[in-house]
Structure formats: C-alpha cells, structure tokens
Amino acid sequence: MHIIARRAATGIGSPVLTSLCTSRLTGTRRLYTMADSDHTVFNKPKVELHVHLDGAIRVQTILDVAKRRGITLPTDTEEELTQKIALEKPSTLTAFLEKFNEYMHVVAGDREAIKRIAYEFVEDKAKEGVIYVEVRYSPHFLANTQVEPIPWNQTEGNLSPDEVVHLVNEGLSEGERAFNIKARSILCCMRHMPSWSMDVVELCKKYRHEGVVAIDLAGDESLNCLANPGHRRAYEEAERCGIHRTVHAGEVGPASVVKEAVEVLKAERIGHGYRTLEDEGLYRKLLAQNMHFEVCPVSSKLTGACDPDFTKHPIITFMKDKANYSLNTDDPLILNSNLHLDYSTVHRYMGFTEEEFKRLNICSAESCFLPDEEKKELLDRLYEAYGMMTSTAF
C-alpha cells in the first residue's frame, strides 16, 4: 500500500505532495496534516460521512496516554508504532480488525484520552479541508464498566458506555469551536455483540440533541440479523424514534447483506456497499431510490474488500452511473492514510475530475444526517465554495 500511496502522489506531479506523503510514510503524521490545501487534488471544502473515531487516533496520542498510564507498548517511537499499527499491504478484514488490539487498551477506560482523541480528530479533519464530518464509534469498546464482556482485557473500572458518549460529545464540540467545522457522531452496534444494540439505540435517543445523529452496525457481515435479532430490534426502535440509520454492508459480505440492511434494518445509507454490484436488480433498485453509499477507496484495498487493482474498483461504476456516494477514510490510523490520499487515489487511478468531486460532496451533504435547516446551510456553503451559487436577487 505504501508503494501505491507514493505512486498516487507522484503521479500528480506535485513535489510538495510527494514529500508530504513521504513524511506520512515515515509516520510523522503531524507533517502531512500540515499539507495545505494548495497542494491537494481537490482544494475545496469537503464532507466526510464514514470514519471511525477509534481508527483515527494520532499515534503520538497513543504514546502519550500509554506513558501517562504506565502502559508498556512494544515501542515508544511514533515511527515504529505507526509501522506496527499500519496495514502494509492488501490484507483481510480479520487482520485489519486485529490491529485494534495493538492500541485500544491504551485509550479505552480513560476519560482524558477519550475526550482528547475526539478533540484532535476535529482538528485533523479541519486541516484536511473537511467542513462537516460524521464520526462513528462503539461506546462499548471505549468503556470498562456496564459492558459485558469488558473489552481489550481491561480490568473493571467506572467508565460506562453512557459516559463515553458524553466525553466524546464534549471533545467534538470543543473541537468544533476551536477549528470552526461541524462534527456529529454515529454510535455503532457490533455484529458479534447483539446484546449491546439496544443500549446503543438508547444512547442515540438520549444524546440526539448533543451531537449524536445516527446508529450504525459494524463488524463481521457473516453474522446476519436473522440469527441476531438484537440488531433488528434496535433498528426498529431507531426508526420508530426518528434516529437515522446506516449499516456496514456489502464491504466483504455479499449483496444479500445490503438487501437485509435496506429491507430489514431500514438503512438510509450503506457503509461501503461495493458488492451491491453483484446483484444487478438490487443495484438498479437502490440507484432509483437514490441510496447513499459511503465508499472508502484506500480502506477497500487494504482490507481486501476489493480487487487491489484500483482501475477495476466498483467506485468507478458508481461514478459512471452518477450514483449517490461519498469519499471517506474509514480508519486512517490503521491505513496510515488521510482524506487527501483517498482523493488523490481516485483522481490518479479512476479518472475522477474536479466536477465529480464537487458532485459527490454535494451528494454527501444531501445525504448527511443533519436536520433539514442545517443541511441547507451546509449545502449553501458548498455551492458558494464551488462557484455554484445561483442568484436569487430578483
């Protein structure tokens, strides 16, 4: 993947971008985030809808928190820890998920760390030119009490999933004020833990006026909802209460998982959804419904979800069909990536144009989970930035 990243950058012919990506490759994350928009493929405001908070932590923060808490890591340098966490080449979703074991025990259960990662996340997104982001996470994975089983081999403490959501909300809203962008959150159910899902929807309801906009279902797609009715019940409750719904589906799982997400879980957006294309009838139906696909180009290669040859990527079909989709990072910590890399990748290998970048960002804003009035404000900001304002003076 690193070789691909370097090629993607050099292909654009920008020496600055090349050096920035080289900095990224050596793990000095702070340097590339200084990449200023002048040197990016799409130097305009962007919307991101699919990124995991616990997959978007700064390596330096993991090191700092480990030191403060007296947790021993295999290395204490940013460069070496980056190499340890990052997926090096196209792999499997299982190998990808194992990467979380490298560092989640450091931040889980720690109030200061959780608030800090949320705050820093907003800063990183602002530096990428994102003006609106929806960030997702499992509150249970960051807790150490009122969660069964307690994750990451933690001993029981006193940080509940409920307080995790409160802390993330605080970090995000402080970040919003400091960096002048808008950040909302999505709470994830995990496919292998159906017993957590009703808790998740209750947290969505409790915090819906403090920045939580939707529910998600993530994890192993082979665990369907027929066998795990806890998810279906949670999504029914979400629909009943007007909580927005997205579902990871058709990433590595077959088109039938997408079908289930839409028909059973009443998903309004699909996380990834690449394998929808294997069911022509379903794909045409979802196109006609204007279903939104949250696509993650760099992620889809490294997790093994898609053919590593980007020129054969399903996103090309979405683009040609003028589908409703967004471009997203998914887990930039584990992919050692950033949003610029996703944009430069589709530009370099899939022929994406400035016009398509504008169109997909407008689709993203239209499909975001903000209330209508705020959505309109976001769209107006994009129209203005993209030079698409129409005069309403007369």
Task: Return the active site residues.
Answer: 251
Residues in the chain: 394
- The mark string for 273-312 relative to Zn ion (x by CB under 5 A, - otherwise) is ----------------------------------------
- Please report, as residue ranges, which positions from 327 to 346 form the binding site for Zn ion (by CB under 5 A): 330
Stretch that binds Zn ion, among 74-82, 168-176, 194-202, 326-334 (CB under 5 A): 326-334
Minimum CB separation from Zn ion for residue 136, in Å?
Answer: 7
Stretch that binds Zn ion, among 189-197, 227-235, 274-282, 322-330 (CB under 5 A): 322-330
Minimum CB separation from Zn ion for residue 367, in Å?
Answer: 16
Minimum CB separation from Zn ion for residue 324, in Å?
Answer: 18
- Please report, as residue ranges, which positions from 98 to 117 form the binding site for Zn ion (by CB under 5 A): none
End-to-end CA distance of the chain: 53
Q: What are the beta bridge partners of residue 217?
A: 189
Q: What is the 3-state secondary structure (H, E, C) of the chain?
A: CHHHHHHHHHHHCCHHHHHHHHHHHCCCHHHHHCCCHHHCCCCCCEEEEEEEHHHCCCHHHHHHHHHHHCCCCCCCCHHHHHHHHCCCCCCCHHHHHHHHHHCHHHHCCCHHHHHHHHHHHHHHHHHCCEEEEEEEECHHHHCCCCCCCCHHHCCCCCCCHHHHHHHHHHHHHHHHHHHCCEEEEEEEEECCCHHHHHHHHHHHHHCCCCCEEEEEEECCCCCCCCCCHHHHHHHHHHHHHCCEEEEEECCCCCHHHHHHHHHCCCCCEEEECHHHHHCHHHHHHHHHCCCEEEECHHHHHHCCCCCCCHHHCHHHHHHHCCCEEEECCECHHHHCCCHHHHHHHHHHHHCCCHHHHHHHHHHHHHCCCCCHHHHHHHHHHHHHHCCCCCCCCC
Q: What are the beta bridge partners of residue 189?
A: 217
Nearer to Zn ion, 110 or 330 (CB): 330
Stretch that binds Zn ion, among 35-43, 110-118, 200-208, 325-333 (CB under 5 A): 325-333
Where does residue 40 rank: exposed (0-12), middle (13-18), buried (19+ CB within 10 A)?
buried
Residues that bind Zn ion (CB under 5 A): 330
